[in-house]
Amino acid sequence: MRRFSAAEKREWGLFALLVSPNLFLLGVFTYWPLIYNGYLSFVRWDLLSPVKIWVGWSNYTYLFTSPDFGAILFNTLFFTLGSVVALCVLGLAVALLLNQKLRWRNSARSVIFSPVMLSGAAIGIVWIYIFDPRYGLLDVLIRLAGMRSPNWLLDPNWAMLAVIIVHVWKNLGYAVVILLAGLQAIPKELYEAAGVDGAGSIARFRAVTLPGLSPVLFFLVLTSILAGFQSFDIVKVMTEGGPIRSTTTLIYALYQEGFVAFNAGRAGVASVLLFGIMLVFTIVQFRYSEKNVHYA
């Protein structure tokens, strides 16, 4: 067995000393709640009574057989995928535009980024007024186009779209900043070389920009997916999961079970499920970035 030298021991000691405060806080505030939540998913508890009744898998059976479960999963996926696709496509379009040498470019960048810094709850309240079909700003614009506004927040067919629009509007600046950084990291020589080979602008975009952007795009997709699964504030303020559960995502269902219905067990199941889904995406991200830390 290898023996540590005094110097090595000192180094390990220092390492432990430096790491322990953070490790302690992580343990108390992250790992312990995680384990405790797993336990809660097997009990019936109203967050108040002194006893927690062990009910085995019945909270899981309840959730997975609940008539709303399919709809909630669908809502979650629809919200997450819808907003991620919109963020990437719109983000890329705006980033390409802002990467040009335009007047007011810096001001435009600031303006686009500013919603990211606003509170989701405040944004939600403002958008409730914008969406109102009788006097909202959006209605005015839609009428200019000769059409009539849908009843965004009270029609189960439109409410989710409304929530996605607000989520995308709020987070577009983040996507743009990430993609801009990616665009600027692509060496100019590649474009020049492609130009020499006779590539037009579309060919250059496909052969140089997209491949050069792919690691950044991948990072953006994953972080947006993770953020999408956890998005709560806008739904809470704008729709409270309604109308008729049409905007109830997994995290909102978790909140309703836990803090409206006070059913810690069922909320526990929802968060175990959410944790599982997020874990998969996080592992994918780690695996991918291990392989692709450097540009090919």
Partner 1 sequence: MSNQLSRRQFLWSAGAGVSALALAACVPATLPAAQPDAAPAAEPVTLTVWSSFSGKNGEAETELVKRFNESQSNVVVDYQFQGNYEETAQKVTAALQARTAPEVSLLSDVWWFKFYLSQNLLPLDDLLSAQNIDLADYQDSLINEGVRQGKHYWMPFARSTPLFYYNKEKWAAAGLPDRGPETWDEFVEWAPTLLQKEGDELKVSAFAHPDGASYIAWLFQGVAWQFNGSYSDPDFTMRMTDEATLEAGQFYKDTVHNYGWAVPSKDISSDFINGLTAASMMSTGSMGGIKANATFEFGTAFLPKKYQFGCCTGGAGLAILASTPAEKQEAAMSYIAFVSNPENTTYWAQNTGYMPVRKSALQSEAMQSYFVEFPQFKTATEQLALTRPQDAARVFVPNGDQIIGSALERITVQSDDVAVAFADVNAILETEAQPVLEALRAIEG
- Please give the residue ranges that form the binding site for partner 1 (CB under 8 A): 25, 44, 46-49, 67, 128, 132, 134-135, 148, 153-156, 240, 242-245, 256, 259-263
- Whole-angstrom distance, CA of residue 231 vs CA of residue 169: 13
Minimal distance, residue 235 CB to partner 1, in Å: 12
Residues whose CB falls within 8 Å of the CB of residue 94, separated by 6 or more in sequence, listed in order:
112, 172, 176
| 2 versus 134: smaller Cβ distance to partner 1 | 134
Minimal distance, residue 242 CB to partner 1, in Å: 6
Alpha-carbon Rg for the chain in angstroms: 24
| 4 versus 32: smaller Cβ distance to partner 1 | 32
DSSP structure string for 138-161: HHHHHHHTT-----TTT-TTTHHH
- Whole-angstrom distance, CA of residue 271 vs CA of residue 274: 5
Minimal distance, residue 40 CB to partner 1, in Å: 12
Q: Give the single-character DSSP code of 118.
A: S
| 204 versus 236: smaller Cβ distance to partner 1 | 236
| Partners of residue 53 on adjacent β-strands | 44
DSSP structure string for 7-63: HHHHHHHHHHHHHHHHHHHHIIIIIHHHHHHHHHTTEE--SSSS--EE-TTHHHHHH
In this structure, how many other beta carbons lie within 10 angstroms of the beta carbon of residue 47? 12
Minimal distance, residue 166 CB to partner 1, in Å: 15
- Whole-angstrom distance, CA of residue 57 vs CA of residue 61: 6
Minimal distance, residue 9 CB to partner 1, in Å: 27
- Whole-angstrom distance, CA of residue 184 vs CA of residue 49: 57
Minimal distance, residue 123 CB to partner 1, in Å: 16
| 12 versus 36: smaller Cβ distance to partner 1 | 36
In which element (H, E) is residue 72 found?
helix 69-98
| 233 versus 240: smaller Cβ distance to partner 1 | 240
| 66 versus 292: smaller Cβ distance to partner 1 | 66
| 26 versus 102: smaller Cβ distance to partner 1 | 26
